[in-house]
Structure 1
Amino acid sequence: MSGPPRYLISDLCAYLESYLPPEQVSEVYRAYLFGAEAHEGQKRKSGEPYIYHPLAVARTLGEMRMDYKCLIAALLHDVIEDTPVSKEDLSAGFDDEIAELVDGVSKLSQIDFASRAEAQAASLQKMLLAMTRDIRVILIKLADRLHNMRTMGVMRSEARRRISRETLEIFAPIANRLGINSIRVELEELGFSHYWPWRHLVLERAVQKAAGERSELLATVETALKRRLAQEEIPGEVTGRCKNLYSIYRKMRDKRRSFSDLVDVFGLRVTVDRVDTCYRVLGQVHNLYKPVPGRFKDYIAIPKANGYQSLHTVLFGPQGVPIEIQIRTAAMQRSAESGIAAHWMYKSGSQSSAPALALANEWLQNLLDMQRSAGNSVEFLEHVKVDLFPDEVYVFTPKGRILTLKRGATVVDFAYAIHSDIGNTCVAARIDRRMAALNTPLRSGQTVEIITAPGAKPNPSWLNFVVSGKARASIRGFLKNLKQLEAEALGRRLLNAELAGLGTEVDRVDPVRLSVYLEEAGLPEIAALLAEIGLGNRSPLLVARRLAGGDGELPAPEHAPGADLHPHRLAIRGTEGMVVTFARCCRPIPGDPIAALFSPGRGIVVHRQECRNLGSLETKRDKRLQVEWAPEPDGDFPVEIRVEINNRRGALAMVAAAIAEQGSNIENVQSKDRDGMTTALEFLVGVRSRRHLARIMRRLRQIPLVIRIVRVSR
């Protein structure tokens, strides 16, 4: 794969002299010398000196007519990450602004992460947050990624696919969100060709074939348009355009259409001088060819989320073939190609970048809101990905302000788009003056008024229908904090209730004993312990005993005559309101030696002491419980037995009758043939104790057909 043209520093400086003063070009040259010295001896995978990469990045930004500090940061963007040069060195050699730009682009390589995904998410989060302070950070990163994609042919296939996927999921959508169409298109094309090379090739051939078939038809429409503009004395330029391959592929995949069903693969663009001329041209176009109903879009009156402005219409062309026409001003065309970068490129005398700049700043503010609400960098990145793929809906506030939302957005998404506090307290809405539920999907053109209530708060069910990253992050953040506070308050009440019986309370617990317990439990502070209790992850009974000086054991009931009870043990009957369940794996019955663990959501779970599912009790000391049976436990306890018998007619009835004869109820039975001669019958029976079970098993052994009887443990 042949790489892009290689630029020397002399080429870059000669180009920069066309728009920068000589003293700033000199500073750029000094930065080149600094970077070349820092990267001395380093080579790229292609074998060329490393400094060629920063030069190419700076050239891309130079073509976007960025300021000289951005160009200096581009030349130095890898020195912190790949050389011994520090951020402080850059501040001393240049200035703090340049050092901040370079640091914003650098990955977080000094921190150990559990996975590549976590490291990638943390580095991207750092870059995106640096971008909220200075948008030039992301412009440098986009130019950096563009050159890496252009020169990726020397890398292994696995690395190419990984980097291409990241490019298609993150960087191309960011370029689109900032309206930088020229970089977005090239990133998508390169990412598509490396990630799905075969699909790219097939689609490329299909487009080339279709272009040949439609060239004559497009030429006819183009000639007719030029003639009509000349007749009406409307100055304008008519050019052909072809949708890029990745956009075609994505539309085919998302809408499940074949290539032949797409109508906007090829089209024409009319570029004029002023906004009012755009609408004059639209009238002439519709007069020349009939428009396809429902396919007209006015992005001039309502720009896209990235500031893109244009009129789009689809016409019934010659032979009934649909043809898309785009109509825009020259300033809109420049802004469509450069987006936010037009703020630097054309800021002297042109206001074309104003919509893109305002919308970009709004998005950056949303990023900050999402970052504050997200739990970690991976969650933050997922919220950002949601926001990077907006298929827009345009709705109005009661005061006429236009909000751009993702397609499928609901009233709640709209409320959070206005402000997080509005979203958190919304209870209903009026859509076009009619009351509507919060989960109502919105359509373009609707006017939405949010109704709030002071005491209202987000509902977890909202997460089932919201679609915007900001709404999802805000709801999760609010619920997380609310859940924590409520859990702490509940945990304090539960623990105080148990400590009251021991003559103390939370605030009077010995600080040393509390500190020891928190260390054993691996908890940072008492608030975390209270939250664990409130969430049901720890037993307030056990914690109270430990904090009051016990060992998690509880006093036994009064001794009954003849009962062999160990002091300070819990009788299963009379457990002061705690839930007790019996483990199904070993099904303990009165008379079995038993042990217990506290389990969140199940209370005290009792096992037989030999049960393998108990694991090591020493590793669960804070959840361990010493238990034993009450003197005279009431009721029947289920136990499983397996009876192997000779396979004879009536054998099951004979065994069942013997079990019933001993006063036991059969709750379930399963039959499993073993070898045709014998059958294994598994009974779930209710018994009162081990002695009762022993009587049943003795009676079954008296049956001649019975070969073997065992008690089952899972």
Structure 2
Amino acid sequence: MKETNHKDMSDEELIDQTFQELLNDYLATKHRKRVEIITKAFNFANQAHKGIKRRSGEPYIMHPLAVAKIVCNEIGLGSTSICSALLHDVVEDTDYTVEDIENLFGPKIAQIVDGLTKISGGIFGDKASAQAENFKKLLLTMSSDIRVILIKIADRLHNMRTLGSLLPAKQLKIAGETLYIYAPLANRLGLHKIKTELENLSFKYEHPEEYEQIEKKLQATAAERDEVFQQFTAPIRVQLDKMGLKYRLLARIKSIYSIWNKMQTKHVPFDEIYDLLAVRIIFEPRNADEELNDCFDIYVSISKLYKPHPDRLRDWVSHPKANGYQALHVTLMGPNGQWIEVQIRSNRMNDVAEQGFAAHWKYKEGGGGEDEGELEKWLRTIKEILDDPQPDAIDFLDTIKLNLFASEIFVFTPKGEIKTMPQHATALDFAFSLHTDIGSHCIGAKVNHKLVPLSHKLQSGDQVEILTSKSQRVQPQWLVFATTAKARAKISAILKKEQKSAQKKGETTLNEFLLKEDIRPESVNYDRLLSLHNIRTKEELLAEVGKGAITLGDEDKNAIKGKQNSNWKKFLTFSFGNTKSAKTDEPQETAAKEKINPKKVLKITEDAIQKNYIIATCCSPIPGDDVLGYMDEDEKVIIHKRQCPVAVKLKTSYGNRIIATKWDTHKSSLSFLVNLYIRGIDSVGIMNDVTQVISRQLNVNIRKLNVETNDGIFEGKIQLYVHDVDDVKRVITKLLKIPNVKTVNRVEE
């Protein structure tokens, strides 16, 4: 993609040149050449945003232009979408209305611009509201026109590319939302390239040092990888030439974010990631009907050259993924004894893989009608969830995220119909996917004619028969078994309904009891009952009474009338992080509170940790970790690791309370607990060597040591007191020098 040279150019020249580039890009596509309407949209938007600058100092119109270029080049959409991208901020940021857009550009563009305006949180203004709420709006809009979400993803991609000009706290909030919402959404829509870039950019802002380290390591090993690629593909080229195919061979390098993710989840160093390189064969089919056969012919011919891995053939050709992705993946043993994945795709499949659903339009005559079979299914599921939304925005987000999977399994009904389910789906999920009635009366299932419980995880190729009973009712623990959004939403709705009727019944019972005992129905009396039964809310109490779990009697009467010590407990709940109440008897509350400026980077000093800040127990960050602060309702700052799951939710839903933070403790006297995972070959005295290194050589205190040996391999966890991340690195380096110690990693508890 050509980049504009900004130097020595007036704003007008820069804008005109960028628009000309957009037109040239559009004219190079297969879409109908509707230059006039695009020019009209550009002139209108340029006039509307005149004189307004972005934070980076460039004219505001450069943002809509950049989004339109992404929409055209990277997503492959036509004039309607390009116009909508150019106009997407006009209604939000100027006095023009959707009606004005409709009068000038027609109902279709107006509808898309309206959709984009509805879901805009004003992320770059002060109107940044909870993203979860915006996401709900976004999905509602999506169901009317998929282009809304595609343009929104393009908008987010440009925002991520220009994130450097924003305040640090804003950067963390936007990067967090991007990883949590937009990257999975792009993935689900098949926009693989964009999903990868969004993940990489988010990672770059959240963990700049680790990003740089991996980037340097990738550069250092590039020549070696190139040599492997040339050696591996030389015989493949010969084979493909013999078949008379037009093709190109590409090396695909694992993205920086994927590498880091694998290092975290598998606890392995960079050097032990062996699938950095994959090979892509992109071919022109001999004729349209032979496309699938050609894929398998290529597979057969290359598997004569290299031995294929028996368990790693992925046939997405016969069964495309729900996001439309089609390819044949095979893993071959390369000449250097290394497994290399080969992805076989036709040009059409490659376009679908890069541009997702938008590529389907490219293969329609004149970029016209849209075929969205799988997408329609997905949107239907989302509509079902939206019909019965969770009251809590975060629950809702989690429920939706369950549906943003890319890995699917294929299962069969007893009659042989094929059903696509997400990976890890259970028999209960399958029951709800058939019908809510079947799900709610489900007592078990037969998988491949064998009886299994509802929690049984299904595998691809299973044949599943659901067993039901009229007397069966939905159980609360089903929420643990269910993994799909639809099943969880339905179970929650049924449980809520039952809870409501139990509350109603409980209210009648409780009122009758109070009337009989001549006790006034006052809140202080309810509080005494809550305290007696150790229940937090009046609703819970009523439900328990309604279900018959609590029988009201003399004990309740005495507790209300104060005839016994009712052991009053205050239930203080904090949103996230540390549950230690700030409301203790310590005199620190009277000390003057430090006023925190959310626009500045907060320095975490030793003194501040003890007085003002709380270290989150969910991820236990230590000095040197990439962290952020979250200001709770009491203006206490809770410090989380940036990749901690709780922090991810906070960035997404409470972005305005996020504070950019940085350690300033140097070598403090404070000690922090960390967990190390250690693995190696068992030998006499190995544990003695480990403890000697930690305690004697490095003078680090061990708090806990758990070790197990199994068939000559030992593995265990060591809990240590350290001052900062440098201490951890020193311990790990020293331990790895002990003979027979093979792996040492820092892990969460």
TM range (shorter): 0.5 to 0.7
Cα deviation, residue 133, structure 1: 1.4
Among 136, 139, 143, the alignment partner of 1:125 is: 136
The SS at the match of 1:412 is helix
1:486 matched residue in structure 2: 502
Supply the distance in 2 between the matched residues of 1:145 and 1:110 (Cα, whole angstroms): 12
CA contact (8 A) 1:4 1:151 kept: no
Using the TM superposition, give the Cα deviation of residue 598 of structure 1 relative to its aligned residue in structure 2, in angstroms.
Answer: 14
Match of 2:364 in 1: 347
1:521-600 paired onto structure 2 within 5 Å: 535-537=540-542, 578-581=556-559
C-alpha RMSD of matched pairs (Å): 4.0
* Structure 1 Cα separation of the partners of residues 472 and 296 of structure 2: 47
Q: 1:438: Cα distance to partner?
A: 0.2
Deviation at 1:254, TM superposition (A): 2.3
Unaligned runs of 5+ in 1: 503-513, 522-531, 541-573, 601-714
Deviation at 1:439, TM superposition (A): 0.6
User: What corresponds to 1:709 in structure 2?
Assistant: none
Give, in whole Å, the separation in 1 of the partners of 2:431 and 2:96. 47
TM-fit CA distance, 1:402: 3.7
Q: 1:471 Cα deviation (Å)?
A: 2.2
Q: Secondary structure at the match of 2:20?
A: helix
Q: How does 1:684-703 map to 2 (within 5 A)?
A: none
1:270-419 alignment, distance < 5 Å: 270-272=281-283, 273=285, 274-348=291-365, 357-371=372-386, 372-419=388-435
2:270 aligned with 1:259: yes
Q: Please tell me whether residue 141 in structure 1 is matched to residue 152 in structure 2.
A: yes
| TM-aligned CA distance change 1:271 to 1:455, over 3 Å | same
Following the alignment from structure 1 to structure 2, what is the Cα–Cα distance between the partners of residues 391 and 116? Answer: 36
State how far apart, in whole Å, the 2-side matches of 1:152 and 1:598 are: 47
Unaligned runs of 5+ in 2: 6-13, 286-290, 527-536, 546-551, 572-749
For the pair shown, which has the larger CA radius of gyration, 1 or 2? 1
1:555 match: none
| C-alpha distance in 2 between matches for 1:477 and 1:27 | 47
CA contact (8 A) 1:342 1:352 kept: no
Q: How far apart, CA to CA, are the structure 2 residues paired with 1:351 and 1:394?
A: 31
Correspondent of 2:462 among 435, 443, 446: 446
- The equivalent residue for 1:16 is 26
User: Residues 204, 37 of structure 1: CA spacing in aligned structure 2 closer, same or farther, 3 A cutoff?
Assistant: same
Q: Which has the higher contact order (CA 8 A, sep 6+)?
A: 2
CA deviations over 1:582-612 (Å, ceiling 9, x no partner): 89xxx967xxxx9999999xxxxxxxxxxxx
Q: CA deviation at 1:345?
A: 2.5
C-alpha change, 1:390 and 1:427, in structure 2 (3 Å) is farther
For 1:452 and 1:118, the matched residues in 2 are separated by: 44
Alignment partner of 1:29 is 2:39: yes
Q: How has the CA–CA distance of structure 1 residues 199 and 403 changed in structure 2, closer, same or farther, with 3 Å as cutoff?
A: farther
The residue number in structure 1 matching 2:242 is 231
Separation (CA, whole Å) in 2 of partners of 1:332 and 1:110: 35
Mapped partners of 1:292, 1:62: distance in 2: 39
Instruction: In structure 2, give the amino acid aligned to 1:252.
Output: M
Match of 1:163 among 143, 149, 174: 174
The alpha-carbon distance between structure 1 residues 132 and 353, as it changes in their structure 2 partners (threshold 3 A), is: closer
Amino acid at match of 1:27: I
CA apart distance, 1:116: 9.3
Answer yes or no: is 1:213 the counterpart of 2:224: yes
Partner AA of 1:290 in structure 2? K
Rounded Cα–Cα distance in structure 2 between residues aligned with 1:61 and 1:317: 39
Native 8 Å contact 1:239 1:269 kept in 2: yes
Give the 5 Å matches for 1:644-683.
Answer: none
Q: Judge which range, 169-178 or 226-235, deviates more.
A: 226-235
Partner Cα separation in structure 2 for residue 178 and residue 158 of structure 1: 29
Distance 1:350 1:322, change over 3 A: farther
CA deviation map 1:240-261 (0-9, x unaligned):
2212222222222223333333
Amino acid at match of 2:72: G
Aligned to 2:482: 466
Cα deviation for residue 577 of structure 1 reads 8.1
**Number of residue-to-residue matches in the alignment:** 535
- 1:227: Cα distance to partner? 0.9
Mapped to 2, the partners of 1:183 and 1:538 lie a distance apart of 48
User: Deviation of residue 165 (structure 1)?
Assistant: 1.7
Deviations 1:161-193 (A, max 9, x none): 221121111111111101012222222222222
The 3-state SS of whatever aligns with 2:483 is coil
Give the C-alpha shift of residue 110 in structure 1: 9.6
Between the aligned partners of 1:160 and 1:21, the Cα distance in structure 2 is: 39
Q: Is the 8 A contact 2:315 2:327 kept in 1?
A: yes
Residue number among 23, 34, 54 corresponding to 2:64 in the alignment:
54
Aligned: 1:45 with 2:55? yes
SS at match of 1:446: coil
Aligned identity (percent) is 36
Check conservation: 1:192, 1:246, Cα contact below 8 A.
yes
TM-score by length of 2: 0.64
Deviations 1:492-515 (A, max 9, x none): 35546776999xxxxxxxxxxx9x
| Structure 1 Cα separation of the partners of residues 368 and 282 of structure 2 | 17
CA distance in 2, matches of 1:82, 1:353: 31
TM-score scaled by length of structure 1: 0.67
Contact 1:3–1:150 (8 Å) recurs in 2: no
Residues 442 and 466 in structure 2, CA contact (< 8 A), matched pair in contact too: yes
Q: Which amino acid aligns with 1:61?
A: V
Indicate the larger mover: 207-216 or 431-440.
Answer: 207-216
CA distance in 1, matches of 2:45, 2:409: 46
Q: CA deviation at 1:77?
A: 1.0
Tell me the SS of whatever aligns to 1:264. coil
Map of 2:109 onto structure 1: 98
